[in-house]
Amino acid sequence: ADAARRLMKMGERMGRGWSRCTPGERLDVLRELTLQLLDSSTVRVILDDCERVQFEVHESLRKHIRDFTCYRKYGVSTAERDAIMLAARAEAEAEAEAAEAE
């Protein structure tokens, strides 16, 4: 009911024409249109998707920066470093098992 009243009031203002509205009335119209847009499920879904994509881009950028820092420091990328560490760990475990078997 309250939203319907606000929309009727907005329709009356817009019926007079935008140029005849006072700055306060224009602000009220824009505020009401913004509220109506934010109540729209389509707009909410798009905003949620944009927020998710923003988070993914942020994480990708952080990963890229960490990878570049590792590359500058050690001369290998983070993925290569992790593979080297994993291989070294597997070799150390194999040596430990061989020593245990003896």
Do the beta carbons of residue 21 and residue 30 sit within 8 Å? Answer: no
Contacts of 31 (CB under 8 A, 6+ apart): none
At residue 52, φ and ψ (nearest 5 deg) are -65, -45
Rounded distance between C-alpha atoms, residue 56 and residue 43, angstroms: 20
- pTM, full prediction: 0.46
What average pLDDT does the segment 24-44 reach? 86
Q: What is the mean pLDDT of the chain?
A: 85
**pLDDT(31) > 80:** yes
